Amino acid sequence: MALIRSIVYAILVYFGWRFVALQARAYDRFYKISLPQWTTIAGILLLVIGSVLAAICFFEFIFIGKGTFIHFDAPRKFVASGTYKYVRNPMYLGVLLIFIGYALLLHSISVLLLSLLLFLLAHLVVVFVEEPNLKKKFGSDYVNYKKSVGRWVPKIKNVVKQ
């Protein structure tokens, strides 16, 4: 059932983001910044990389964590393997790459700024809500994990070991 729920959530998130992004494009006319044509290729590349990363995390949450990527239906088991052994929040990074890729594909400075604003909001949620809840839920397992794995950027020693 986690797979079906995750697919439904992913569809809702996708169409929700697409709607918001397209609405944000209306504000492009207020900026005097135009994104160059080469951003189309960069956007496609970021969309592909972000989608692959998010999809991997999606399945890690379902099959290892026994839950979904949505907070109210979160994994029941602690996930510290796969992409999560490099950074603590690879799903957010994948989604950020998707958002930025979409902004570049649309040549939209407004969508790019919205993407960065949403990432800032996600960072605040991670720091002030998710991490304290994970510490409470998983105790010393999470505390040790947090010490050895970077929040957004892999710790070099972890990457070199692999």
Contact assessment for residue 57 and residue 94, using Cβ atoms and an 8 Å cutoff: yes
Q: CB burial class (10 A; 0-12, 13-18, 19+) of residue 95?
A: buried
Separation between Cα atoms, residue 46 and residue 105, nearest integer Å: 9
Query: Cα 34 to chain center, whole Å?
Result: 26
What CATH number is associated with residue 115?
A: 1.20.120.1630
Provide the residue range defining the domain that includes 153: 2-161
pLDDT, tens digit (0-9, with 9 covering 90-100), for 121-135: 999 999 999 999 999
pLDDT band at 161 (very low <50, low <70, confident <90, very high): low
Separation between Cα atoms, residue 105 and residue 75, nearest integer Å: 32
With H, G, I as helix, E, B as strand and everything else as coil, classify residue 16: helix
Q: Closest by alpha carbon to 88, among 19, 120, 135?
A: 135
Q: Looking at the 3D structure of the chain, how many domains does it have?
A: 1
The model carries a pTM of 0.86
Would you state the pLDDT for residue 159? 52
pLDDT, tens digit (0-9, with 9 covering 90-100), for 67-105: 877 777 777 888 889 999 999 999 999 999 999 999 999
pLDDT, tens digit (0-9, with 9 covering 90-100), for 146-158: 999 999 998 876 5
Would you state the pLDDT for residue 43? 97
